[in-house]
Structure 1
Amino acid sequence: MRRFRRTLVAAALATTMVGGTAGWASGTSQRAVTGPPVGSAAWRADDSLGRALPDPASATPEEVARFFATLTPGQGQRLVRRHPLVVGNLDGAPIALRYEANSRAVRAQHDPRYARLAEPGRQILAFDPRGRGQAAEVYGDLASARHVSVVVPGADIDAATFDREKDPYGTPAGMAGALRAATDGRTAVIAWAGYTTPVGIGLDVATGDLAEAGAGRLARFTQGLTAAGVGEPALFCHSYGAVVCGLAASEVNATDIVVLGAPGMRAAHRADLHTDARVWAAKDPSDWISKVPHVEIAGLGHGQDPTAPSFGARRVPADLAEGHTGYFVPGTDSLRAFAAIAQGRITQRDITRAVTAPDDTALEDITQGEGR
């Protein structure tokens, strides 16, 4: 009977969303940006090195890394100058070259939306001006950091809202900055707004289409980090970003997958993700996401609540977080737990110790147990 009632609720939800919001949602419907970066045709036609360049559409990150390893510094710089949008978004390319290429690409846009991304000193690891714009920024030093994390945001995020001043901890830049600060700068954190996110609360956010496109981009991005010599990251996936991470779980290179404020992961159980990464879930008592039925029917909804005991994820405490975007606010138990996860492959017991330890206790003293 309970299952029957849940099915009726799901059907009512689907009917309400389609009937009540279809007209509005169609106005905010997003087309996913996919495929090779802008300028790929000119890149493929470039014979200035006397040999073919790796095809951005088909070369693996490992193949890209091997190609760049054969170049002299001067040849790499030449490619940056000639093809900044390609080099800057080519997973597997050297990190330093990507920073330089994206700095050039952002400045060349002359678009006020990207003015903050163009500020000196920012380490932009990816920048795609197509659609609403996509970007990824590094906080810290990827080359020397022992541990790396990637923040995957949810709806209403693009290159223009990447680090907005309003509601900063609901942005990838704000979340990444807070996470790195919580580890006392001992980690590197990447704010990754590298997929087309839903806008508003409409059909896009209720379906998995944009998440499926984003999952492929996220998987390739993490594979590119590995190919470039960066260690496997921990993923922190907020809201609709949790759907992206759920669909990408079997392909991403990651030590941990942490979801927060998740509508679901398109899976009924942790085992359905087919990943060796640790899976963690957080949801604070005041998060409105709790009011969303955790079901999937006719393509609408994202399945089981990852914080439900039956899902099988490790639970991250979040009693001090407030609302849907409060998980990375300094002083919260959730942020302290995230910082502990970001610093190593640790146990549930270590998370409890991190959350309950005095504020002046160094997290490195409690992040023990490097095995999975």
Structure 2
Amino acid sequence: MSSHPRRSRLCRGLLTALVATSVAVPIAGSACPAAVPAPAPTAQGPLRTAAPEALAARYAATRADIGAAERAAADHGDRKRAAALHGMADSARSFLSFDGRDGGRSVEVFGDLSHAERIAVLVPGAGIGVDHYGRLRNGALALHGELGGRSAVVAWLGYEPPTMPSPASVTSERADEAAPELRRFMGELLNLRPASRTSLVCHSYGSVVCARAAHGLRVADIVLYGSPGTGYANAADLHTPATVWAGRGSDDWVADVPHMKLRLPFVDIGFGTDPVSPEFGAEVFAAGDGGHSDYLKPGSLPLKSIARIVAGTAMSAEISGERHA
């Protein structure tokens, strides 16, 4: 007798337990970041050029917006938020955009975007926000350091990632809201640097966002790492000309998340096919033995693998057995 029905029932039970746990977590705390007041940012249209003087003017205007949000947070008595914003407003930082309202949105550049031949756009997953921005920043710095000269890394926090665990972390609702914003930003970036080799690098829930935004997107690669699934049955369903890559560390807990979708009356729960499985059909890269937050650690195997993909030097021949791991 086949064990498949039994396994399916087990997965369904595990996913149901995950949803129940998420729902049981008080979600009032997730509203706290949005409760910190911030002024509306300076109205700015899309950049028309990536010339150094144009970028410098945009960075200066955005720095002023961050400073205004810092003062608002301080007046509100939120010292943690004010301290985080103070660091972001440093003159050495380069933000293309910032909006401190509703938990905060930002787009930061690492490297010289004006002359970058290789560009990676990092899309973070659950639990990242203004108050926990250091994790995204550290990963961007590490990837930029691995890529070296003539490269830029863009940390795109252009949406409100779900908290973890929470009901939002097991549905695509936040990703559906984020995808149009990511597509808009990518369109602007690709127009600014059409000759650059540009890749989307998507962690955890961020891979759901990237999959929703992928359709027809003119990028070289879409890199999914630590992904719970994309909501699509296979890479072909993303309808992208990009090469789709996937990787997962052997100690990443996301491997234990049931890779299936439950269709409920008002919402779908779960994200379907495992991106590193043969059924999904992605190119699977070596991701080492690290955990869910270890992919962009300096010196790590997955960091080197992702950098090779972004640089365009990764070859399928370098992928040895990871697809079936």
TM-score tier by shorter-chain length is 0.7 to 0.9
Segments of 5+ residues of structure 1 without an aligned counterpart are 40-83, 164-170, 353-372
**Partner of residue 79, structure 2:** none
Q: Take 1:119 and 1:106, find their aligned partners in 2: how far apart are those partners?
A: 9
1:280 counterpart SS class: strand
One-letter amino acid matched to 2:261: E
Q: Take 1:237 and 1:296, find their aligned partners in 2: how far apart are those partners?
A: 20
Kept in 2, the 8 Å contact 1:266–1:302? The answer is yes
**Partner of residue 85, structure 1:** 42
Q: Deviations over 1:209-235 (max 9, x none)?
A: 001111111111100112333535211
One-letter amino acid matched to 2:299: G
Q: Take 1:116 and 1:137, find their aligned partners in 2: how far apart are those partners?
A: 13
**Partner of residue 278, structure 2:** 309
**Partner of residue 105, structure 2:** 134
**Partner of residue 328, structure 1:** 296
Q: Take 2:47 and 2:197, find their aligned partners in 1: how far apart are those partners?
A: 14
Q: Take 1:177 and 1:135, find their aligned partners in 2: how far apart are those partners?
A: 16
Q: What aligned pairs does 1:226-245 form with structure 2 within 5 A after superposition?
A: 226-229=190-193, 231=196, 233-245=198-210
Q: How far off its partner does 1:10 sit?
A: 4.4
Kept in 1, the 8 Å contact 2:251–2:290? The answer is yes
- The alignment yields a C-alpha RMSD, in angstroms, of 2.4
**Partner of residue 234, structure 2:** 269
Kept in 2, the 8 Å contact 1:29–1:203? The answer is no
Match of 1:218 among 177, 182, 189: 182
Match of 1:349 among 317, 320, 323: 317
1:322 counterpart SS class: coil
**Partner of residue 162, structure 2:** 198
Q: What aligned pairs does 1:161-200 form with structure 2 within 5 A after superposition?
A: 161-163=132-134, 171-200=135-164
One-letter amino acid matched to 1:267: Y
Q: Deviations over 1:347-367 (max 9, x none)?
A: 323667xxxxxxxxxxxxxxx
Q: Take 2:318 and 2:151, find their aligned partners in 1: how far apart are those partners?
A: 18
Q: Take 1:86 and 1:350, find their aligned partners in 2: how far apart are those partners?
A: 46
2:145 counterpart SS class: helix
TM-score normalised per structure 2 = 0.83
Q: How far off its partner does 1:346 sit?
A: 4.4
One-letter amino acid matched to 1:260: Y
**Partner of residue 323, structure 2:** none
Q: Take 1:261 and 1:132, find their aligned partners in 2: how far apart are those partners?
A: 24
Number of equivalences: 294
**Partner of residue 120, structure 1:** 91
One-letter amino acid matched to 2:310: A
**Partner of residue 119, structure 2:** 148
Cα gap change, 1:30 to 1:351, in 2 (>3 Å): farther
Bigger CA radius of gyration = 1
**Partner of residue 67, structure 1:** none
Once the two structures are aligned, what percentage of the paired residues are identical? 34
Q: Take 1:189 and 1:26, find their aligned partners in 2: how far apart are those partners?
A: 33
Q: How far off its partner does 1:3 sit?
A: 4.9
TM-score normalised per structure 1 = 0.73
Q: Take 1:295 and 1:30, find their aligned partners in 2: how far apart are those partners?
A: 29
One-letter amino acid matched to 2:96: L
Q: How far off its partner does 1:28 sit?
A: 5.1
Kept in 1, the 8 Å contact 2:115–2:150? The answer is no
1:154 counterpart SS class: coil
One-letter amino acid matched to 1:176: A
Match of 1:158 among 129, 144, 167: 129
Q: How far off its partner does 1:328 sit?
A: 1.1
Q: How far off its partner does 1:16 sit?
A: 2.4
Kept in 1, the 8 Å contact 2:105–2:158? The answer is yes
Q: Take 1:300 and 1:9, find their aligned partners in 2: how far apart are those partners?
A: 16
Q: Take 1:20 and 1:148, find their aligned partners in 2: how far apart are those partners?
A: 38
Identify the structure with the greater strand proportion: 2
Cα gap change, 1:29 to 1:118, in 2 (>3 Å): closer
Q: Take 2:306 and 2:148, find their aligned partners in 1: how far apart are those partners?
A: 13
